Structure 1
Amino acid sequence: MTATADHPLLEPGEKILAEIRPDRGRYWRDHGVMAVGLMALAGLVLWATGTPYPAIGSLGAILAVGVRALYLSSETLGLRWVLTDRRVILPGQRSVPLLELETVRTLLGDVQLITRSGDKHLLKHVADGAGLVAKILQARERRAKRRAD
């Protein structure tokens, strides 16, 4: 596939292996878990400090996370990452060569990429984090093998 308006960063001969987008269900589940965790933390802190109405703080935490989730949903759910046979193309015209990846792992509902130089990138709210990690590692191994041949 050659460079197109939809994939402006593809090099000649580069092949797309997968397009990765955030999963809407995963996005809302992640924010639900965050809301419940912050609700409990806020209630506990307010109860420990002797506040007479710790439930109000808990409700505030849930509302804050909900408003944040609504505000950021269109931006976050519009992200796209592209896995090619050479690299991972990130939003914003950046990319990470597969052979530069030191660590690829799941991190809660996300996939974290860490390069040899220590740069960290997050593929947020992916539906199958473990499956994506396996795809990226497999592509990296194939790239390394081709380089060695």
Structure 2
Amino acid sequence: MSPAQFPADRAAYLRAHAWLAAAAMAGAMLILWIAGNPHIWTGGVAGLAAIALRGWYLASEELTAVWAVEGAELTGPGGQRIALRRIETVRTIGSFVQVITTDGHKYLIKYQADPQATMAAIERARA
């Protein structure tokens, strides 16, 4: 078993999609209002439907993603492997943790229940 694993969290996934839906609803309604459409409420319905469909469609892939520190590497879905010595920056962005390597490649560890703890675990492994 890996000393540090970072699985995607369902609650973080739902929370991120709720914020995305709110933004999509507001944006669609604003566009319809600017365009002079008298039925701006349809933008809210469309924004919500679009993000709900997206969330449902991607859930099976996103929620099975697990990153882990294994030896001297950070491993991720799809066979991604990052040598810990190549990691230059680790930071949080909402429920995501972004890892940037010395050669500029960027990786996202998505939908973390505690992104600060994930970042701290990666930093400890690097030390």
TM-score (norm 2): 0.95
Instruction: Give how far 1:84 is off.
Output: 2.5
C-alpha deviations, 1:76-101, integer Å up to 9, x for none? Answer: 11111111341100111121011101
- With a CA cutoff of 8 Å and minimum separation of 6, indicate the structure with the bigger relative contact order: 2
Instruction: Give how far 1:116 is off.
Output: 0.5
Verify: 1:47 aligned to 2:23, yes or no.
no
RMSD: 1.1
Q: Distance in 2 between matches of 1:123 and 1:131?
A: 12
Q: Distance in 2 between matches of 1:85 and 1:17?
A: 9
Instruction: Give how far 1:105 is off.
Output: 0.5
Verify: 1:56 aligned to 2:42, yes or no.
yes
1:83 aligns with: 69
Verify: 1:96 aligned to 2:82, yes or no.
yes
- 1:87 maps to a residue whose letter is E
Partner residue of 2:15 out of 17, 29, 46: 29
Higher Cα Rg, which structure: 1
1:10 aligns with: none
1:112 aligns with: 98
What is the aligned length? 127
Aligned counterparts, 1:112-131, within 5 A: 112-131=98-117
2:122 aligns with: 136
Q: Distance in 1 between matches of 2:80 and 2:18?
A: 30
Identity, in percent, stands at: 37
- 2:22 maps to a residue whose letter is V
TM-score (norm 1): 0.81
**Structure 2 counterpart SS, 1:127:** coil
- 1:102 maps to a residue whose letter is E
| Runs of 4+ off more than 2 Å | none
**Structure 1 counterpart SS, 2:112:** coil
